[in-house]
């Protein structure tokens, strides 16, 4: 049986490397090409040493990209919005991991990501969170894989919205790792500057809040911190209910929403060191762990604290993109994504 050919545009970055790793281990895929302007003609394993022995492919220039079955675009914001018409001619399915087509409202897309030359194509994309859009993904040709912070925030809040448990205003506190900033070096990513920090780098707004608002219809305030962690992110969401809520109400909502989901685990334990979602537990996996706590304020309101933790390179990027592709092409949804993680790490 013929394998499905998958290529990656932007294969030299962290997300591109993770996509290449997943393609190499996927039972239904074979690697087509990986493009890189800066690494053209160099071996993939030279840039991604974890792939030594797995592939002898070399990076090609984007202009030399050949037709393929599936095309993943792991490029900076701006590339896909310009190149999509040409990319569609090269692939049956395009999964874009940038923010170029995540927002379905043209005004919002231009507000958060600048001028957009192909706004008429926004509505053709399926937003890439399978837990919300699985049916729309089946046979989809264009998928906009969700942002990492957005995925974590949406999954933390979705059961509360689905069961109409909280008021519209929520506050999100996000702690994210250094790999979320990509492979390009900057002054802020220099080890002497990044080490040991808990740095608020987006104190009052972040692009991903637009995705969360789009998918939850909540009014979101967000603060994002950079912390000393290579992979992973953690979201703590604060919301309020005007009705009294108990833990059993939250258990019912979260387990009702995610009970059959292959990659979302409800984490709420009374014992042990990992009673709530913890990013290190998800490292290298496509799991998102979600949890909650309830605080009766005593003044007629209930505060709900929701948690979400995931690997920003996997469920927040490459892993989720492959999960979306699996659904679109009719493969088992978990194909190539079965790694359970390690402990301790």
| Domain 4-145+317-329 architecture | 3-Layer(aba) Sandwich (3.40)
Say whether 324 is catalytic: no
User: Please, which residues bridge with residue 127 across strands?
Assistant: 144
Q: Are 339 and 315 in contact (CB under 8 A)?
A: no
Question: What pLDDT, on the 0 to 100 scale, is given for residue 299?
Answer: 73
| Domain 149-310 architecture | 2-Layer Sandwich (3.30)
Q: Are 67 and 57 in contact (CB under 8 A)?
A: no
Q: Say how many CA atoms lie within 13 Å of 30 toward its Cβ.
A: 8
- Reported confidence tier of residue 128, pLDDT bands at 50, 70, 90: very high
* Catalytic pick among 71, 148, 288, 321: 148
User: In this predicted model, what pLDDT tens digit does every residue of 282-322 receive, in sequence order?
Assistant: 999 999 999 999 997 667 789 999 999 999 999 999 999 99
Question: What pLDDT, on the 0 to 100 scale, is given for residue 186?
Answer: 84
Question: What pLDDT, on the 0 to 100 scale, is given for residue 191?
Answer: 87
Q: How far, rounded to the nearest angstrom, does the alpha carbon of residue 73 sit from its chain's CA centroid?
A: 14
What DSSP letter does each residue of 132-177 carry, written as one string? HHHHHHTT-SEEEEPPHHHHHHHHHHHHHHHTT-S-SEEEEEEEE-
102: left (phi over 0), alpha (psi -120 to 50) or beta: alpha
CB atoms within 10 A of CB 4: 19
35-44 mean pLDDT: 96
Q: Over pLDDT 90: what percentage of the chain?
A: 90
189-201 mean pLDDT: 89
92-96 mean pLDDT: 98
Sign of CA dihedral 179, 7, 60, 63: negative
Kindly list the strands in the beta sheet with 126-128, ordered across the sheet, starting from the edge strand earlier in the chain: 29-35, 4-9, 68-73, 91-96, 142-145, 126-128
- Reported confidence tier of residue 244, pLDDT bands at 50, 70, 90: confident
Per-residue CA distances from 106 to 74, 103, 113, 116 (Å): 22, 7, 10, 8
182-190 mean pLDDT: 84
For 187-214, b/e burial (b = at least 16 CB within 10 A) is eeeeeeebeeeeeeebeeebbbbbbbbb
User: In this predicted model, what pLDDT tens digit does every residue of 65-92 receive, in sequence order?
Assistant: 999 999 999 999 999 999 999 999 999 9
Question: What pLDDT, on the 0 to 100 scale, is given for residue 281?
Answer: 97
**Residue 306, Cβ density class (10 Å: 0-12 exposed, 13-18 middle, ≥19 buried):** buried
The domain ranges of the chain are: 4-145+317-329, 149-310
Q: Say how many CA atoms lie within 13 Å of 68 toward its Cβ.
A: 25
User: In this predicted model, what pLDDT tens digit does every residue of 133-180 receive, in sequence order?
Assistant: 999 999 999 999 999 999 999 999 999 999 999 999 999 999 999 998
Token pair in block for residue 327: 């659904």
Token pair in block for residue 19: 């996509």
Question: What pLDDT, on the 0 to 100 scale, is given for residue 184?
Answer: 84
Q: Are 245 and 165 in contact (CB under 8 A)?
A: yes
The reply to whether domains 4-145+317-329 and 149-310 share a CATH topology is no
CB atoms within 10 A of CB 89: 8
Task: Collect all residues with Cβ–Cβ distance below 8 Å to 85 and sequence separation of at least 6.
Answer: 118
The answer, yes or no, to whether residue 101 has pLDDT greater than 80, is: yes
Question: What pLDDT, on the 0 to 100 scale, is given for residue 117?
Answer: 94
């Amino acid at each position: 049986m013929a394998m499905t050919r998958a290529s990656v545009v932007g294969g030299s970055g962290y997300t591109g490397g993770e996509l290449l790793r997943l393609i190499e281990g996927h039972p239904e895929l074979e690697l087509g090409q990986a493009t890189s302007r800066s690494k053209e003609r160099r071996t993939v394993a030279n840039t991604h040493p974890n792939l030594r022995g797995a592939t002898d492919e070399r990076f090609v220039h984007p202009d030399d990209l050949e037709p393929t079955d599936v095309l993943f675009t792991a490029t900076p914001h701006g590339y896909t919005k310009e190149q999509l018409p040409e990319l569609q001619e090269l692939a049956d399915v395009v999964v874009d991991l940038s923010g170029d087509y995540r927002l379905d409202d043209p005004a919002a897309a231009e507000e958060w990501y600048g001028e957009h030359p192909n706004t008429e194509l926004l509505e053709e994309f399926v937003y890439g969170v399978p837990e919300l859009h699985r049916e729309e993904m089946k046979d989809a040709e264009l998928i906009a894989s969700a942002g990492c912070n957005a995925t974590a925030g949406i999954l933390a809040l979705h059961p509360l919205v689905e069961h109409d448990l909280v008021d519209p205003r929520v506050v999100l506190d996000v702690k994210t790792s250094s790999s979320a900033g990509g492979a390009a070096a900057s002054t802020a990513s220099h080890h002497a500057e990044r080490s040991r920090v808990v740095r608020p780098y987006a104190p009052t707004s972040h692009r991903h809040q637009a995705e969360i608002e789009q998918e939850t219809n909540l009014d979101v305030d967000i603060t994002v911190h950079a912390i000393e962690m290579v992979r992973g992110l953690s979201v703590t969401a604060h919301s309020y209910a005007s009705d009294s809520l108990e833990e059993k109400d939250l258990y019912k909502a979260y387990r009702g929403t995610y009970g059959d989901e292959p990659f979302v685990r409800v984490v709420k334990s009374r014992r042990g060191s990992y009673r709530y979602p913890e990013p290190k537990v998800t490292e290298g996996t496509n799991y998102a762990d979600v949890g909650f706590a309830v605080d009766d304020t005593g003044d007629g309101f209930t505060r709900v604290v929701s948690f979400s933790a995931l690997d920003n390179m996997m469920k927040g990027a490459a892993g989720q993109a492959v999960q979306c592709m699996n659904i679109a092409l009719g493969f088992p949804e978990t194909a190539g994504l079965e790694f359970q993680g390690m402990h301790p790490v």
